[in-house]
Amino acid sequence: MTLHNSHGFLIEKATPHDKDDFARLMLISAPIFLPTIFGKRALSIFKCLFLKHANLFSMDHVYVVKSEGTVGSMVLFYDWRIKEKEDIKTGLAMFCCMGMDFLARIPLFIKAGSCTGYVRKGEIYISNLATYPKFRGRGMASALIAKVEEEAKKTGGKYLSLDVEVENTGAIKLYQRLGFRIIKESSTTLKNRQFSFYRMIKKSSYSPKVYKF
C-alpha cells in the first residue's frame, strides 16, 4: 500500500471487494470496443475473470486508487513473462465465465488481438487504465503509471507499453505528458465497425538500454 499524502489518496493492490469497480472501470476504459468483443454480458464477465487467479484479467494484476475508501481509478498491467504464462489460462478462464458464447466469439478475440495486446520481451503492458469521471483531474492516473514504473524496477521491465484508441485524445495527451510516444497505428474491423489504436511506449525510468523496433 502506498500513501500519497499530497493528493490524499491510497494506491492499493486490488482485492475481491473491488470486483464491481474493476468491471465498471474496464468498460469506461473502452466503452465501445470491449462490449463489441465480449457482448452484453461484459460487466459480469469481467467480474468473473477478476476473481479467478492466473489469467490476464485477474485481480492479481490490478491496482486501485482509493479516496476516503472509495475506488476512483484502476490499472490492469502485466509483463511479458506473465503474458506468455497466462495466455492459454486466460482462454480457459474466459470459457468458464462465458460458456459456449466464448467459442462463438473466438474470431472477434483473434481480430482484436491482431492490433492490441501483444507484449514484447522486456515490456510491462498496461492493458487498461481508467478513472471515474468525478475523480478525474486529481492525479490518480498519473500515480498509477508511476506505480507501474515502480513495479517495472522489481520485474526488470525496460519499457511500458499500451494501446489507446485514436479517438481517445484526452488519454493520448495524458500519456504523452507522462513520457509515452506513439510508435505505430493499427486498425481492425469488428462487427462492421472500424477500431484504430496507437501503440505507445515509454522507457522505464530504471532502464539504461535503447529500445529496438
The set of cell numbers assigned to 134 is 468525478
Name the DSSP class of 40. Answer: T
The arithmetic mean of pLDDT across residues 205-210, rounded, is 52
Ranges of each domain in the chain = 2-203
pTM exceeding 0.85: yes
pLDDT for 205 equals: 67
Weakest mean pLDDT among 1-5, 85-89, 191-195: 1-5
> What does the alpha-carbon distance between residue 206 and residue 144 come to, in Å, rounded to a whole number?
16
Bridge-based pairing of strands 159-165 and 123-131 is: parallel
The arithmetic mean of pLDDT across residues 105-114, rounded, is 96
pLDDT at 211 over 80: no
Asked whether the CA dihedral 35, 177, 75, 200 is positive or negative, the reply is positive
The arithmetic mean of pLDDT across residues 71-85, rounded, is 97
Asked whether the CA dihedral 40, 45, 47, 48 is positive or negative, the reply is positive
Q: Does domain 2-203 have CATH number 3.40.630.30?
A: yes
Query: Tell me: the pLDDT tens digits for 139-158?
Result: 999 999 999 999 998 889 99
Where does the pLDDT of residue 213 fall: very low under 50, low under 70, confident under 90, or very high at 90 and above? very low
pLDDT for 3 equals: 47
Determine the number of helices (DSSP H) and then strands (DSSP E) in the chain.
7, 8
pLDDT at 204 over 90: no
